Structure 1
Amino acid sequence: MHDLGTFVVTVFMGFFAMMNPIANTAVFVGMTASKSPQETRKIAFKALFCAFCIVAVFCLLGKGIFSLFGITLPALRLAGGILVFLVGYHMLQGKQSKIHSHQEATQTAVQIEEDEGDIAISPLALPILAGPGTLATAMNYSASGDITHILVTIAAFAVLCVITFVCFIAGPQLVEKIGEGGISIVTRIMGLILTVIGMQMLIQGVHDAVMLFGPTAS
């Protein structure tokens, strides 16, 4: 029970740090500034629902994807660890990784809005909410194929989506109260958490690779 509780907290904090609802709220407010409250609520729900579906699919089909492409779990943890570490490192420096680039996504959103496109799908759902780092985190925690781990990973992301939805709806008031300085501090803290999670994934990946391919493997 203790191990399961630790796993639940670890998964939730990993997703929370990667998605960073506070910083993403500022991005969301900027993208939907010209929208009515009803349109804003609709965009927020659609973006988060799409992000949840994407992550859930990767969690459920992760093991099948591995089998299809001949990917081993240590390889995922090593690659995912590097990816998560890089995202966290850039956040720790007060910058945005190109993997989850808010500035680029905002420019894309402006272009999409001009073309009467749907910003809920792109760039909100992809790549801001369910970007490569988020997917790597999800697959790392659910890749063992254990049904409990898969369900916990999906449930943790669902809870985070609800929290993010509330933040998006209360976006203008939240951004006004926290301010740029507060958002910067939260981003750096989330970056620190992500770098630690990324390093832990790397260590686990190296350990698993040694166990799988080392001299004693056979």
Structure 2
Amino acid sequence: MNELYTQIITVFLGFFAIMNPIANTAAFAGLAGHRTHTEQVKIATKALVTTFFIICAFALLGKAIFHLFGITLPALRITGGILVFIIGYHMLNGNGSKLHSPEQNTDADIAISPLAVPLLAGPGTIATAMNYSSSGNIMDIIVVISVFALLCVVTFLCFIYSAKVLSLLGEGGLTIVTRLMGLILAVIGTQMLIIGISSLLAIPLNVG
């Protein structure tokens, strides 16, 4: 049971750091702050429902994707570790990652882009979900989906109360949270790299 609690906390912290609801609340306020509260609720709901289904798809189909493209688990962990580390490094330095900062298109549906993809369901989030559920164990997949659902609810609340959250934190508080999340992400990315490289060195490669 203790292992399950540890796994739940680890997955939650990993997703929380990579999605960074607090920092993305500022992005949401910038994109939808001028809308009415009803419109903001609709945008937040659509963005997070879309994000949830995207991540669920990768969590559930991760193993099938591996077999389809001939991807090995160490390759995913190494690539995912690099992506997560890069995002964390930029956040640690107080900058947004280009992976989470697409050019804005005012004519596009902001709930889908840029909110759902790539701000919430970006490459790092997808890689993290696939990494945590890659064992194919049903309990691991349930934990990933359940924890991510909880995080989507937390993010939704942050979005619809974005004005209050940002006024409470202030610019300094937002910077501190972003840097702390960046540090956590950099460590998670490094750990994924270490595990991936260790696994790669421990298994024979079938080339040709």
TM-score (norm 2): 0.96
Confirm or deny that 1:80 pairs with 2:80.
yes
For residues 150-169 of structure 1, the aligned pairs below 5 Å read: 150-169=141-160
Q: Which residue identity is paired with 1:52?
A: F
Match of 1:193 in 2: 184
- Please list every run of at least 4 consecutive aligned residues from structure 1 whose deviation after the TM superposition is greater than 3 angstroms: none
Of 172, 177, 182, 1:181 maps to: 172
Instruction: Tell me how far apart the structure 1 counterparts of residues 186 and 7 of structure 2 sit (CA, whole Å).
Output: 18
CA drift at 1:9: 0.7
Deviation per CA, 1:34-82, whole angstroms, max 9, x where unpaired?
A: 2111010000000000000000000000000000000000100011011
Residue identity in the other structure for 2:110: I
1:173 aligned partner, one-letter code: K
Shift of 1:26: 0.8
Displacement of 1:33 after TM fit? 2.1
Separation (CA, whole Å) in 1 of partners of 2:185 and 2:33:
30
1:118 counterpart (79, 95, 109): 109
Q: 1:144 corresponds to which residue? A: 135
Q: Which amino acid aligns with 1:50?
A: T
In the alignment, structure 2 segments of 5+ residues that lack a partner are none
Residue equivalent to 2:55? 55
Q: Distance in 1 between matches of 2:64 and 2:188?
A: 25
**How many aligned positions are there?**
205
Distance 1:151 1:126 in 2: 23
> Aligned partner of 2:185: which letter?
L
> 1:144 deviation in Å?
0.8
Pairing 1:67–2:67 present? yes
C-alpha RMSD over aligned residues: 1.1
- Report the secondary structure of 1:213's partner residue: coil
Mapped partners of 2:18, 2:9: distance in 1: 14
Residue identity opposite 2:72 in structure 1: T
1:208 to 2:199 alignment:
yes
Shift in Å, 1:208: 1.0
Distance in 1, Cα, partners of 2:26 & 2:11: 24
Match of 2:121 among 130, 134, 139: 130
Residues 162-195 of structure 1, C-alpha deviation per residue, up to 9 Å, x if partnerless?
Answer: 0000111110011111111110000000001001
The yes-or-no answer on 1:37 pairing with 2:28 is no
